[in-house]
Amino acid sequence: MPAAAARKGLSGQLVRFLINGLVATAVHFSVLHVCIELLHVPLAAVANGIAAVFGITASFLGNRYFVFPGRPGSAFKQGSLFVLVYAGIALLHALLMFAWADWLGLDYRIGFLLITGLQMVCSFLINKFVVFK
């Protein structure tokens, strides 16, 4: 029975992680869209970097209080580690967006979706086994 409970717990985390990820991604993409379409930020990579700050903040709050609630550790320690991890992920995201949209001239929306999918896999694994262990 413990294996079944563990699978149920993991599946619940995955569902909550996906919901949180959708919300954080919506925040990220909305800010990216505003930066490019309304504020006319000239480089998608720069606009994406700005948007990442908002998406990362939404993601941390959702992970701490919704996906992995009640995990031991101070909010400061978890937040610091989360920011460090996400700074790396955001940098990778920005570099890939630069290559996709600015260098190759491909549609930033498609690139955003593809790159965000890669980011999601990395994020769940790092959050589960490092940040909120």
For the chain, which residues make up each domain, given as ranges? 2-131
pTM: 0.69
Half-sphere exposure of 84 (CA within 13 A, CB side): 9
Task: Assess whether pLDDT exceeds 50 at residue 1.
Answer: no
Which of helix, strand or coil describes residue 70? coil
pLDDT tens for 11-68 read: 789 999 999 989 998 999 999 999 999 999 999 999 999 998 899 889 999 999 999 9
CA 116 to CA 41: how far, in whole Å? Answer: 20
DSSP state of 114: H
Q: At 38, phi and psi to the nearest 5?
A: -105, -40
